[in-house]
């Protein structure tokens, strides 16, 4: 698990150290830096997957000479499958000091620290590495044992999902890409591979534990997904099927009504929210221990009760060993997380809250804590206080 993320001269953050937990909520005003945090992790993973991120330190003599030859073709890959951040000019923090035009990203996984510093190249979308910090694997070093895994953060190679705020909408068909959906188990940043993933893994069992929905007709992924979707729309069932003769798959819904099951309905005829949230449901339900799941606005297009239930689902994925980091604007998601703590689904220590607010020159972060009763120890101005503010005016 990533316990800490450190950002230096990266977008809105001049210097920030963010503790992360099994379940982390990123909240705050629009344009306050929440997505940038998720993007920094995606940037590292994307750079690693494309082979662009060096996993060995610079030899000392290279350092002394101020050269970076052994990592000359390595760096932060700003534009790729997970994120498109532009060029160096876009990501270097605007108020950087001239003698320090470099961008640093670092993660701590338990006692292991990994850091990368890249040079600022305004026009480039591969920012060359200047420095790499890795756990000490030398003899006598108390860090990870030597070997290829020693210098690789677990989140580079473990199961990973990243769902953007802008996800799939109802459609007649979705892509059938075996390599991405089945080979890599990746749902796509818009969740575009979810239907194919679900079609292939429909009969996989959801393990015993909080993720298993008690009202599902079976422990199979397809029925479990339907049961969690039933929290948004009671009685719904889902089908994900190949479309013969094409490289596409289709999604359909059925409903249990008073007169039995309805006929199948296509996504465009059952409302937007169901399909929009399907990738979130599948990402959480299929999360394996050690997975990293980054979610932007899981509440989008859901009614309030559904938003709370999505928080329960995310908390359950965290309880079963995944690390979930989600950006949200929803007090229902926050309250769903608080309830999950109160119900013992997750412990207070597993929940981390960050509230981002601009301070004129960049982002400032306040981190309220949740206690075992689900109570929050501080409510900074702007932190989910709008309901109260509006009610005050209504009753005045
Ligand atoms: N290079 C940069 N230097 C300083 N601030 C930046 C830079 N790039 C983006 N920002 C700031 O970051 C904020 C956007 O962050 P983002 O994570 O997209 O917001 P949100 O909280 O809505 O997800 C904006 O306030 C923007 O001005
Ligand atoms: Mg955002």
Per-residue model confidence (pLDDT) at position 57: 58
Q: In the predicted model, is pLDDT for residue 124 greater than 50? A: yes
If you measure from the C-alpha of residue 89 to the centroid of ligand 1, how many angstroms do you get, rounded to a whole number?
Answer: 13
Lowest mean pLDDT among 14-18, 54-58, 195-199, 317-321: 54-58
- The residue-averaged pLDDT of 356-378 equals 90
Residue to probe by mutation, ligand 1, list 7, 27, 31, most atoms within 8 Å of CB: 31
Question: Measured between alpha carbons, how far is 349 from 318 in angstroms, rounded to an integer?
Answer: 12
* Packing angle of the helix pair 272-285, 194-201 (nearest 10 deg): 50
Q: In the predicted model, is pLDDT for residue 130 greater than 80? A: yes
Answer with the residue of higher pLDDT: 375 or 100: 375
Nearest-10 Cα torsion for 19, 20, 23, 26 = 80
Average pLDDT in the chain: 91
Per-residue model confidence (pLDDT) at position 383: 96
Per-residue model confidence (pLDDT) at position 65: 47
Give the pLDDT confidence of 217-261 residue by residue, as tens digits: 999 999 999 999 999 999 999 999 999 999 999 999 999 877 788
If you measure from the C-alpha of residue 333 to the centroid of ligand 1, how many angstroms do you get, rounded to a whole number?
Answer: 23
- Domains of the chain, earliest start first: 1-159+287-396 (3.40.50.300), 167-285 (no CATH)
Q: In the predicted model, is pLDDT for residue 9 greater than 70? A: yes
Please provide the DSSP assignment of 337-382 as one string: HHHHHHTTSS-GGGEEEEEEEE-SSSEEEE---B-TTS-BS---TT
Percent of residues, the chain, with pLDDT higher than 90: 80
What atom in ligand 1 is closest to the CA of residue 296? Answer: 23
Residue nearest to atom 14 of ligand 1 (CA): 31
Question: Measured between alpha carbons, how far is 218 from 118 in angstroms, rounded to an integer?
Answer: 50
Q: Which residues are near ligand 1 (CB < 6 Å)?
A: 11-12, 28, 30-36, 90-94, 327, 356
What atom in ligand 1 is closest to the CA of residue 358? Answer: 25
Using DSSP, state whether 300 is helix, strand or coil. Answer: coil
Residue to probe by mutation, ligand 1, list 8, 32, 87, 295, most atoms within 8 Å of CB: 32
Dihedrals phi, psi of 175, to nearest 5 degrees: -65, 150
If you measure from the C-alpha of residue 140 to the centroid of ligand 2, how many angstroms do you get, rounded to a whole number?
Answer: 44
Instruction: Tell me which residues have their CB within 5 A of the ion that is ligand 2.
Output: 34-35
Give the pLDDT confidence of 36-76 residue by residue, as tens digits: 999 999 999 999 999 888 676 555 555 444 444 455 578 99
């Amino acid at each position: 698990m990533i316990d800490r993320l450190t950002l230096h001269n990266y977008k809105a953050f001049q210097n920030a150290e963010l503790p992360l937990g099994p379940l982390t909520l990123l909240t705050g005003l629009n344009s306050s830096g929440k997505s940038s945090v998720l993007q920094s992790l995606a940037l590292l993973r994307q750079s690693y997957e494309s082979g662009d991120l060096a996993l060995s330190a610079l030899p000392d003599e290279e350092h002394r000479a101020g050269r970076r030859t052994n990592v000359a073709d390595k760096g932060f890959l700003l534009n790729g499958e997970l994120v498109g951040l532009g060029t160096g000019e876009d990501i270097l923090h605007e108020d950087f000091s001239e003698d320090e035009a470099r961008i640093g990203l670092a993660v701590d996984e338990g006692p292991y620290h990994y850091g990368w510093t890249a040079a600022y190249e305004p026009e480039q979308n591969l920012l060359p590495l200047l420095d790499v910090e890795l756990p000490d694997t030398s003899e006598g070093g108390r860090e990870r044992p030597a070997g290829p895994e020693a210098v690789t953060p677990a989140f580079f190679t473990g199961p990973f999902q990243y769902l953007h705020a802008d996800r799939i909408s109802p459609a007649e068909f979705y892509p059938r890409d075996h390599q991405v959906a089945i080979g890599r188990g990746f749902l796509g940043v818009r969740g575009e591979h979810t239907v194919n993933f679900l079609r292939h893994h429909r009969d996989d069992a959801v393990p015993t534990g909080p993720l298993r929905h008690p009202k599902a007709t079976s422990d199979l992924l397809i029925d479990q997904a339907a049961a969690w979707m039933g929290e948004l729309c009671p009685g719904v069932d889902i089908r994900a099927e190949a479309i013969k003769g094409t490289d596409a798959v289709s999604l359909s819904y059925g409903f249990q009504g008073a007169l039995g099951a309805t006929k199948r309905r296509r996504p465009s005829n059952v409302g937007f929210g169901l399909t929009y949230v399907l990738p979130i449901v599948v990402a959480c339900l299929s999360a394996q221990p050690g997975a990293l799941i980054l979610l932007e606005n899981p509440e989008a297009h859901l009614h309030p009760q559904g938003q709370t239930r999505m928080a329960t689902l995310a908390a359950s994925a965290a309880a079963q060993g995944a690390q979930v980091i989600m950006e949200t604007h929803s007090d229902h998601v926050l309250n769903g997380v608080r309830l999950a703590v109160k119900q013992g689904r997750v412990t207070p220590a597993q929940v981390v809250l960050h509230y981002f607010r601009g301070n004129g020159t960049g982002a400032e972060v306040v981190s309220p804590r949740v206690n075992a009763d689900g109570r929050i120890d501080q409510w900074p101005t702007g932190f989910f206080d709008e309901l109260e503010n509006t009610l005050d005016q209504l009753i005045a």
